[in-house]
Amino acid sequence: MSDTEKAVASPEDLGVRTTLEGVLVSIPALIEAATLSGVAIEGRRFIDCILVGPSVLIPTAETRFGNCNFGDVEGDVRNLFLTAAGTRVIGALSVAGCVFERCLFHGVGLVGDEAVIAAFVATVDVPA
């Protein structure tokens, strides 16, 4: 699992890098850097990173979370989720196809419908 003392600052090429390892990633800064570079955030790989919000992510069937720490979910990983009130979600970040391995999340929530939540609960590997 990521250790805050071992994480280093985000690289200058944050907006275009497809794999990030062992870095502190401000999700708002990632959004800004990706927007300025014209490169989508989708399909990226985060390994041993600390991802800091505030933010809400939209995971898809292709998004993977392996052995990540989402903070205190009070015994129910579904507590991470907001549910979409309509057919679309506005203002959240799509992480379609992204892979998160051994990452630590601070101030980050997820959004999805009941099917997305059920798929996440069934496949996520959250340390005990």
Average pLDDT of 93-107? 95
- Chain segment 71-87, per-residue pLDDT in tens: 887 778 888 888 888 88
Q: Give, in degrees to the nearest 5, the angle at Cα 99 between 85 and 115.
A: 30
Best CA proximity match to 20, nearest among 7, 32, 31, 4: 7
- Chain segment 14-54, per-residue pLDDT in tens: 889 999 999 999 999 999 999 999 999 999 999 999 999 99
Give the contacts of 47 (CB within 8 A, at least 6 positions apart).
Answer: 19, 20, 21, 22, 101, 102, 103
Give the contacts of 46 (CB within 8 A, at least 6 positions apart).
Answer: 19, 20, 21, 25, 98, 99, 100, 101, 103
pLDDT value at residue 125: 60
In DSSP terms, which residues pair with 112 in a beta bridge?
83
pTM: 0.86
DSSP helix/strand/coil, 13: coil
DSSP state of 102: S
